[in-house]
Structure 1
Amino acid sequence: MTPAELERLAQRLRRGEVPDGVRLLKQNPVRRVALADGIALKLFLVPSRRAAREARALRKAAALGVRVPTLIDVGRDWVATSFIEGRKAVRKDLPRILPVVRHMHEQGMLHSDLHLGNLLVAGSEVVLLDPQKARFWPHLPRILRNWELGRLAYSLGEPLPAELSHVSFWRELRAQQHWRSRTRRCRKESSNFTRFTHAGASGYRRRDASPEDLVRTLETLAQAELIWSRPWGAIYRSGSWIVKQHASVRAARNAWVAGHGLEMRDIRTARPVAWLDRWLIMEDAGQDVVAWVEAHFGEASAPEREELSRKLADLLADLHRRGTYHSDLKASNMTWSPGEPARLLDYQRVRFGIRVSRRRRIRNLAQLNASLPDQLPGELRERTLQRYLERCGYREHGSKLREAVISQSLQRSHRWHGC
């Protein structure tokens, strides 16, 4: 295709048109990528110098011997490259990825956005994509190499590969940045969320939630099942949703944000669907742990009892490993059933950080232990604590933590009265 033809194609893509013979490869609020005659044309929808930066980075990378798509042409807001047939890189490709990254760093190139989504496996080659943020140095400092490897390590998921154990700090830093960035998206127009208004009030909803169904649910709460009520709020069950009325708009908004923050950290919850004024609408995840224990624990099999212990320990360990503290972590705020993961039902009092202190760990463990009914025997509680320690890699001797948890549990005077 000639430069004039590429410009005309970019203009049509800008208008939202897809000509015959052109395949749309990717589309989001920031850019569109289309394939035509073996050429990948990337159109930037937001005014910027991204096209020029990416073209410059592609030229420099190719000159250094770094494998990137071949630059064909560049316009004011688009860049055209050769299309490379391949597949997205996955975790098992790490032995092939690391030599490519090492060579890139030795040549003084920092990709700046290195993750599996920007790596393409084409036959025996690994190709670097989307280098618009790349930077070049005569010599790349070790701290920047580790910073970039930490970003790559985060995209691999868990567990951290042994080859990248030396960048665990940078991986954790990237995780925190990513979680914060993605959490904020639930309070603005984005690919997954949109504004929700009704009766003069406003909030946000998931795009896959029908606004008509949400409005109908709020308008028919008088016929819904009332689960809990206090002067400052109430909880209703309406169809497949739970509707919570919070004490204030701020409390409902905090719960909405916290629910999505937990989801970004891969912590299971009763998923929030919409927030409007003082109302939070969420999925109905079933009965809470206390109700399940009181109704089914006596007749539950030994494997089911062990599964309950494991799932509760895993949920609490995942919270703390990801720097998340829940100031009201009671069994009545969690749900579980055999074959399912444990989930959080209430997350208004969730706080996100980098580390959870020893004092807060003990408090959460004591809250959970004290809120579990006496039907749970002491040995099952002991195994829950032991699995928690193993899962979150806590370094303190278990006996010291155990004594502190028991002491605080008994002080709480909740459902548990001691072994």
Structure 2
Amino acid sequence: MSAAQFTFLERAGWPSPAPFVLALPGGGSLQYRNILRWLPGRRVSGEASWDGRPVFAKLFFGAAARRHAEREQQGLAALQSAGLPTPALLAVVDFPRGERLLLSEFMPAARSLEAALGDPAKLSPALALLGRLHAAGLVHDDLHLGNFLLAEEKMLLIDGDGVRPGSAEQQRDNLALLLSQLPVALDGWRAGLLSAYGELPGSGGLDDLVDAWRQRRRQRFLAKTLRDCTQFSVVRESGRFLAVLRSAGTSLLPLLAAPDQAIEQGRRLKSGATCTVAALAMDGGPLVVKRYNRKNWRHALSRAWRPSRAWHSWREAHRLAFYGIATPKPLALLEERWGPLRGRAFLVTEFCPGVSLADALLPERVPEPALAQSLEVFFAVLCRLRITHGDLKATNLLWHEGQLWAIDLDAMTQHRSASAFRRAWRRDRARFLRNWPAGSPLHDWLARILPPV
């Protein structure tokens, strides 16, 4: 890669550049095949071919390239010195202008810890590995599920850039950070996971630290869903506001350019004065487009000064996903704008083919065990988080792939105060029970298992 091409990388923003070929000093080449991580102006990482050999390549560029690369190397060396499993560093290549390339062992069958969340038993090896890291006097500043890889039943720790010495209190905070990234429904597994971790470092309430980290991470994540970043593309123009999941942006461009036409061509699911919903068949899979209408000029004026219901649903869907609660993946938010005024709005999500609880639950009998357990866990988690749905019709909960999926999130709220939550939960609970006849076996069972008001 020439100096001009390095300059291009330094100036490139989002999305990430297409795979490219890098000419190496002294001969040979590296071909990036799949870019997995792109930090504009700083780093590009991904699967590559090094003169025909598969490797994982991290290319550091920009003003601080050497400093970040050296920190990565020092972290990897610390992991190796402590006997902790991490992919082997195969080569370090320096470029004349200061760029540095690190080539590591590539493991094509490796899965991140995030992919193993459906099986809590897979989490114990990760906690055990973290315990070994802390026992060696180290912490990982960038501790997230993607930095644990499961390869051939062996857990590996990657990304040496975040590895450094740390005190017992810092290690305890590090442990809380990892636990905060697990779905809330898995909090009941915490004692077993801590057993795998080993002796707890530091002092203070670990549960409080986990909750504090969850709150901080949630606030940062929800803010990201409305600004241009690695995960989301956001466009603010005089006539519209658009936020779209970057991985889906290209495939959604035709739909977002003419959403009304897409709805007319789709299969109509709902036609109402305030919203129109249609299902669409797309190359990447079925989607749902929801358009929030304006009934008349009074209704339009009342909504023009506040975030649209599509905006609210976009935020709440990402909130649920953050907590590990199933909901169709939100892909795009589009609002029509006239300066500060908002008009119609559109929400695009993946389609969930699940069965609504109106069909899955029969009044004359209690649910089958898997569904019964999911109902208990689902409502217990919502109540712990002080989240209310706001419209708990049976059709707004779907049973799919062994879990409950929440849809139609226009009125969902996470309450700050316990008293506000109790008032809203009382309404949610009563509305949910009204879906089935009072005195029926199902109604009586639900009244027993739903958290009290």
* Pairwise same-fold verdict (TM > 0.5): yes
Shift of 1:271: 4.5
**AA of the residue aligned to 1:320:** C
CA contact under 8 A between 1:114 and 1:151: conserved in structure 2?
yes
Change (3 A) 1:93 1:310: closer
Aligned length: 372
- Using the alignment, how far apart are the partners of 1:253 and 1:70 within structure 2? 45
8 Å contact from structure 1 (residues 38, 82) kept in 2: no
Contact kept, 8 Å, 2:45 with 2:56, in 1: the verdict is: no
Q: How does 1:307-386 map to 2 (within 5 A)?
A: 313-321=376-384, 323-326=385-388, 328-331=390-393, 334-336=396-398, 341-352=403-414, 357=418, 360-361=421-422, 363-370=424-431, 372-373=434-435, 375-377=437-439, 379-386=441-448
1:238 lines up with 2:278 in the alignment? yes
Output aligned runs, 1:80-159, within 5 Å. 80-83=102-105, 85=107, 87-88=110-111, 90=113, 92=121, 96-97=125-126, 100-120=129-149, 127-137=156-166, 140-141=167-168, 143-154=169-180, 158=186, 159=189
Deviations, residues 222-247 of structure 1 (Å, cap 9, x unaligned) = 89786332xxxx11133443322372
Distance in 1 (CA, whole Å) between partners of 2:30 and 2:440 is 68
1:130 Cα offset (Å): 0.6
Say whether 1:18 aligns with 2:38.
no
Cα drift, residue 51 of structure 1? 1.8
Letter in 2 for 1:18: V
Q: Per-residue CA shift, 1:62-109, capped at 9, x if unaligned?
A: 455555544743644434254265734656465655554444323322
CA distance in 2, matches of 1:302, 1:203: 46
CA spacing shift, 1:211–1:98, aligned 2, 3 Å: closer
Q: Distance in 2 between matches of 1:329 and 1:40?
A: 48
Q: What are the superposed Cα offsets for residues 264-316 of structure 1, whole Å, 9 maximum, x if unpaired? A: 222233554432224132456689979x47xx977x66366888776554433
* Greater Rg by CA: 1
Q: Secondary structure at the match of 1:80?
A: strand
8 A contact 2:356–2:394 mirrored in 1: yes
CA separation in 2, counterparts of 1:327 and 1:120?
35
Change (3 A) 1:173 1:301: same
Cα separation, 1, equivalents of 2:272 and 2:60: 50
Distance in 2 (CA, whole Å) between partners of 1:13 and 1:132 is 24
Q: Partner letter of residue 430 of structure 2? A: N
The 3-state SS of whatever aligns with 1:346 is: coil
Letter in 2 for 1:58: L
Distance 1:303-1:120 versus aligned 2 partners, 3 A rule = same
Secondary structure of the equivalent of 1:347? coil
Q: Where do residues 50-61 of structure 1 align in structure 2 (5 Å cutoff)?
A: 50-61=68-79
Separation in 1, partners of 2:159, 2:442 = 51
The question of 1:162 aligning with 2:223 is answered no
> What is the aligned counterpart of 1:276 among 334, 347, 351?
334
Aligned to 2:258: 216
2:38 match: 29
Q: 1:260 aligns with which of 313, 318, 328?
A: 318
Task: Please report how far the alpha carbon of residue 40 of structure 1 lies from its aligned counterpart in structure 2 after TM superposition.
Answer: 4.2
The superposition leaves residues 322-369 of structure 1 with CA deviations (integer Å, 9 ceiling, x where unpaired) of x2423624327823368775443333443447x772662463144332
Q: In 2, Cα distance between the equivalents of 1:206 and 1:260?
A: 11
Assess if the C-alpha contact under 8 Å between 2:364 and 2:440 holds in 1: no
Superposition deviation, residue 168 in structure 1: 4.0
Question: What 5-or-longer segments of structure 2 have no aligned partner?
Answer: 10-16, 23-28, 114-119, 201-205, 281-287, 295-302, 336-343
Q: Identify the range of structure 1 (362-371 vs 11-20) with the bigger mean alpha-carbon deviation.
A: 11-20
Q: Indicate conservation of the 8 Å contact 2:149/2:155, yes or no.
A: yes
| Pair 1:302-2:359 in alignment | no
Amino acid of the residue matched to residue 275 of structure 2? I
Q: What RMSD in Å do the two structures reach over aligned CA positions?
A: 4.5
Residue 215 of structure 2 corresponds to 176
**Residues 394 and 435 in structure 2, CA contact (< 8 A), matched pair in contact too:** no
| d(CA) in 1 for partners of 2:126, 2:327 | 34
Q: Deviations over 1:360-407 (max 9, x none)?
A: 246314433245245253653342244344xxxxxxxxxxx4xxx4xx
Match among 69, 78, 82 for residue 100 of structure 2: 78
